[in-house]
Amino acid sequence: MTTTENPAATDTRTITLRVNGREITRTVSTRTTLADFLRDDLDLVSVHLGCEHGVCGCCTVLLDGQSVRSCLMLAVQARGHEVETVESLSADQTNLHPIQEAFAEEHALQCGFCTPAMVLRCKEIIADGRTRTDEEVRREISGILCRCTGYQNIVNAVQNASRRCASTGQEA
Protein backbone atom coordinates (compact mmCIF):
# COMPACT_ATOMS: atom_id res chain seq x y z
CA MET A 1 0.00 0.00 0.00
CA THR A 2 1.36 3.39 -0.83
CA THR A 3 0.58 6.25 1.47
CA THR A 4 -1.45 7.96 -1.21
CA GLU A 5 -4.04 5.22 -0.71
CA ASN A 6 -4.06 5.55 3.06
CA PRO A 7 -7.77 5.17 3.94
CA ALA A 8 -7.17 6.56 7.43
CA ALA A 9 -6.42 9.91 5.84
CA THR A 10 -9.76 10.19 4.07
CA ASP A 11 -12.27 8.18 6.09
CA THR A 12 -14.90 10.31 7.83
CA ARG A 13 -17.92 9.85 10.10
CA THR A 14 -20.69 12.14 11.21
CA ILE A 15 -21.00 12.27 14.98
CA THR A 16 -23.38 13.86 17.45
CA LEU A 17 -22.33 14.58 21.02
CA ARG A 18 -22.95 17.11 23.77
CA VAL A 19 -20.16 19.57 24.48
CA ASN A 20 -20.48 21.96 27.41
CA GLY A 21 -24.22 21.41 27.43
CA ARG A 22 -24.82 21.94 23.71
CA GLU A 23 -25.59 19.28 21.17
CA ILE A 24 -23.07 19.28 18.37
CA THR A 25 -23.15 17.40 15.07
CA ARG A 26 -20.04 17.37 12.89
CA THR A 27 -18.42 15.28 10.20
CA VAL A 28 -14.88 14.36 11.26
CA SER A 29 -11.95 12.39 9.97
CA THR A 30 -11.97 9.08 11.83
CA ARG A 31 -8.35 9.55 12.84
CA THR A 32 -8.92 12.95 14.44
CA THR A 33 -8.31 12.84 18.17
CA LEU A 34 -10.93 14.19 20.52
CA ALA A 35 -8.42 16.85 21.57
CA ASP A 36 -7.85 18.09 18.03
CA PHE A 37 -11.61 17.98 17.35
CA LEU A 38 -12.33 20.14 20.40
CA ARG A 39 -9.50 22.56 19.60
CA ASP A 40 -9.71 22.81 15.83
CA ASP A 41 -13.37 22.15 15.02
CA LEU A 42 -15.00 23.69 18.10
CA ASP A 43 -12.33 26.28 18.98
CA LEU A 44 -12.16 25.05 22.57
CA VAL A 45 -8.48 25.91 22.84
CA SER A 46 -8.47 25.42 26.61
CA VAL A 47 -7.74 21.79 25.80
CA HIS A 48 -3.94 21.87 25.81
CA LEU A 49 -1.68 19.32 24.18
CA GLY A 50 1.43 18.71 26.25
CA CYS A 51 2.63 15.29 25.16
CA GLU A 52 0.03 13.62 22.93
CA HIS A 53 0.94 10.26 24.42
CA GLY A 54 -1.26 10.20 27.47
CA VAL A 55 1.21 11.06 30.24
CA CYS A 56 1.05 14.79 31.00
CA GLY A 57 -2.71 15.07 31.33
CA CYS A 58 -2.88 18.67 30.09
CA CYS A 59 -5.56 17.63 27.59
CA THR A 60 -7.85 16.29 30.33
CA VAL A 61 -11.57 16.81 29.70
CA LEU A 62 -14.56 15.35 31.50
CA LEU A 63 -16.43 12.65 29.55
CA ASP A 64 -19.76 11.94 31.21
CA GLY A 65 -18.31 13.56 34.31
CA GLN A 66 -15.10 11.53 34.41
CA SER A 67 -11.66 12.80 33.46
CA VAL A 68 -10.13 11.38 30.29
CA ARG A 69 -7.09 12.27 28.25
CA SER A 70 -8.55 13.69 25.07
CA CYS A 71 -5.30 13.04 23.18
CA LEU A 72 -5.78 9.29 23.60
CA MET A 73 -9.38 9.26 22.39
CA LEU A 74 -10.65 9.66 18.89
CA ALA A 75 -13.39 12.17 18.30
CA VAL A 76 -15.61 9.41 16.93
CA GLN A 77 -15.36 7.58 20.26
CA ALA A 78 -17.05 10.51 21.95
CA ARG A 79 -20.17 10.06 19.83
CA GLY A 80 -23.25 10.12 22.03
CA HIS A 81 -21.30 11.24 25.09
CA GLU A 82 -21.21 14.43 27.13
CA VAL A 83 -17.90 16.33 27.05
CA GLU A 84 -16.98 19.18 29.40
CA THR A 85 -14.05 21.54 29.02
CA VAL A 86 -13.08 24.32 31.40
CA GLU A 87 -15.30 26.71 29.45
CA SER A 88 -18.24 24.86 31.03
CA LEU A 89 -17.32 26.32 34.43
CA SER A 90 -16.89 29.84 33.20
CA ALA A 91 -15.57 31.31 30.00
CA ASP A 92 -16.04 34.83 31.39
CA GLN A 93 -12.82 36.25 32.81
CA THR A 94 -14.77 38.76 34.87
CA ASN A 95 -17.07 36.18 36.43
CA LEU A 96 -15.13 33.08 37.35
CA HIS A 97 -16.52 29.85 38.78
CA PRO A 98 -15.66 29.28 42.48
CA ILE A 99 -13.10 26.63 41.51
CA GLN A 100 -11.38 29.07 39.17
CA GLU A 101 -11.53 31.71 41.93
CA ALA A 102 -9.89 29.26 44.32
CA PHE A 103 -7.05 28.67 41.87
CA ALA A 104 -6.48 32.42 41.49
CA GLU A 105 -6.61 33.03 45.24
CA GLU A 106 -4.12 30.26 46.02
CA HIS A 107 -1.73 31.17 43.16
CA ALA A 108 -2.22 27.65 41.86
CA LEU A 109 -1.07 28.48 38.34
CA GLN A 110 1.87 30.15 36.69
CA CYS A 111 2.05 29.51 32.94
CA GLY A 112 -1.54 28.27 32.80
CA PHE A 113 -0.88 25.35 30.49
CA CYS A 114 -1.98 22.56 32.85
CA THR A 115 -4.55 24.80 34.53
CA PRO A 116 -7.75 23.89 32.62
CA ALA A 117 -6.96 20.22 33.20
CA MET A 118 -6.29 20.76 36.90
CA VAL A 119 -9.50 22.79 37.29
CA LEU A 120 -11.56 20.07 35.62
CA ARG A 121 -9.93 17.36 37.70
CA CYS A 122 -10.64 19.44 40.80
CA LYS A 123 -14.29 19.69 39.82
CA GLU A 124 -14.46 15.93 39.39
CA ILE A 125 -12.81 15.00 42.68
CA ILE A 126 -14.59 17.48 44.95
CA ALA A 127 -18.01 16.61 43.51
CA ASP A 128 -18.56 14.05 46.27
CA GLY A 129 -18.38 16.80 48.91
CA ARG A 130 -16.00 14.72 51.02
CA THR A 131 -13.24 16.24 53.16
CA ARG A 132 -9.81 15.13 52.01
CA THR A 133 -6.29 15.17 53.41
CA ASP A 134 -3.66 17.00 51.39
CA GLU A 135 -2.03 13.65 50.72
CA GLU A 136 -5.24 12.32 49.19
CA VAL A 137 -5.51 15.40 46.99
CA ARG A 138 -1.92 14.90 45.84
CA ARG A 139 -2.69 11.34 44.83
CA GLU A 140 -5.84 12.39 43.01
CA ILE A 141 -4.17 15.14 40.96
CA SER A 142 -1.04 13.11 40.25
CA GLY A 143 -2.25 12.16 36.79
CA ILE A 144 -1.66 15.69 35.56
CA LEU A 145 1.83 17.16 35.34
CA CYS A 146 2.47 20.74 36.36
CA ARG A 147 5.94 22.07 35.71
CA CYS A 148 5.54 25.49 37.32
CA THR A 149 3.96 25.33 40.75
CA GLY A 150 5.49 22.37 42.55
CA TYR A 151 1.84 21.38 43.22
CA GLN A 152 1.45 22.71 46.77
CA ASN A 153 -0.67 25.67 45.72
CA ILE A 154 -2.79 23.40 43.53
CA VAL A 155 -3.42 21.18 46.55
CA ASN A 156 -4.37 24.31 48.49
CA ALA A 157 -6.66 25.40 45.65
CA VAL A 158 -8.47 22.06 45.61
CA GLN A 159 -9.06 22.34 49.35
CA ASN A 160 -10.13 25.97 48.96
CA ALA A 161 -12.50 25.07 46.12
CA SER A 162 -13.95 22.25 48.16
CA ARG A 163 -14.72 24.65 51.00
CA ARG A 164 -16.17 27.27 48.66
CA CYS A 165 -18.45 24.80 46.92
CA ALA A 166 -19.58 23.31 50.25
CA SER A 167 -20.29 26.69 51.83
CA THR A 168 -22.14 28.15 48.86
CA GLY A 169 -23.98 24.94 48.13
CA GLN A 170 -22.90 25.45 44.52
CA GLU A 171 -22.53 22.33 42.51
CA ALA A 172 -18.86 21.78 41.85
Partner 1 sequence: MTATQDPARTTEEGPDRPAFTYIGKDRRRVEDPRLLVGRGGYIADMKLPGMLHAAILRSPVPHARIASIDVSAALEIPGVVAVFTGEDVKAHMDPCMNFGPATITQYPIAVDKVRYVGEAVAAVVAENRYIAEDGVDAIVVEYEELPVVSDPRAALEPDAPVLHEEHGSNLGYERTFEFGDITAALESADLVVEDELHWGRSAGMPMETTGAIARPGHNGVLEIYCNSLNFSYLQFLLAAALRIPSNKLKMQPVPAGGSFGSKFTAHKVPTLAGFLALRTGRPVCYLEDRLDHLMNSDHHGSDRYYKVRMGFTKDGLITGLDVDVVDDYGAYMQFGVGTHGNALSQAVGPYRFRDLRYRLRAAVTNKCQQGAYRGFGSEVHNWVLERLVEQGAAKLGIAPEEIRKRNFVLPEEFPYKIPGGNVYDSGNYPGVLEKALSMIDLEHWRKEKERLRREENRYIGIGIATTQERSVFSSTEFWFWFDEPPFPITSSPESATITIDPTGAFQLLLHCQAMWGNSPETVATTILAEEFGIEPESVNVSYADTSRALPGTGPGGSRFTVMVAGAVRGAARKLKKKLIDIAAHTLEVAPEDLELVAARVQVRGAPERSLGLPELAASAYFFALNLPPGMQSGLEESYTYDHPYTTLPSPDRSDLGVFYPIMGHACHIAVMEVDPDTGMTKFLDYVAVHDAGTVVNPKSLGGHVTGGAAQGLGSTLYEELAYDADGQFRSSTFLDYLVPTANEVPPFRIGHVETPSPYTEYGIKGGGEGGRMVTPSAVSAAIDDALREYGMHVRELPIKPADIVATVQAARAKG
Interface with partner 1 (CB under 8 A)? 2-4, 6, 9, 29, 31-32, 39, 44-53, 55-56, 58, 85-87, 90-94, 96, 100, 103-105, 107, 109-116, 119, 134, 137-139, 141-143, 145-155
Residues comprising the chain, all counted: 172
Q: How far is the CB of 106 from partner 1 (least distance, A)?
A: 9
User: Computed over its alpha carbons, how large is the radius of gyration of the chain?
Assistant: 17
Q: Which of 80, 110 has the CB closer to partner 1?
A: 110
The partner residues of 27 in beta bridges, in order of sequence, read 14
Q: Which of 80, 101 has the CB closer to partner 1?
A: 101
Q: How far is the CB of 144 from partner 1 (least distance, A)?
A: 8
Gap between the Cα atoms of 143 and 120, Å rounded:
12
Q: How far is the CB of 134 from partner 1 (least distance, A)?
A: 7
Are the C-beta atoms of 19 and 85 separated by less than 8 Å? yes
Q: How far is the CB of 168 from partner 1 (least distance, A)?
A: 18
* DSSP code of residue 33: B
Residue 62: phi and psi, rounded to 5, are -95, 125
- Of the candidates 146, 142, 133, which has an alpha carbon nearest to the alpha carbon of residue 103? 146
Q: Which of 45, 130 has the CB closer to partner 1?
A: 45
Q: Which of 50, 124 has the CB closer to partner 1?
A: 50
Give the H or E element holding residue 16.
Answer: strand 12-19
Q: Which of 80, 92 has the CB closer to partner 1?
A: 92
Gap between the Cα atoms of 149 and 108, Å rounded:
7
Q: How far is the CB of 128 from partner 1 (least distance, A)?
A: 19
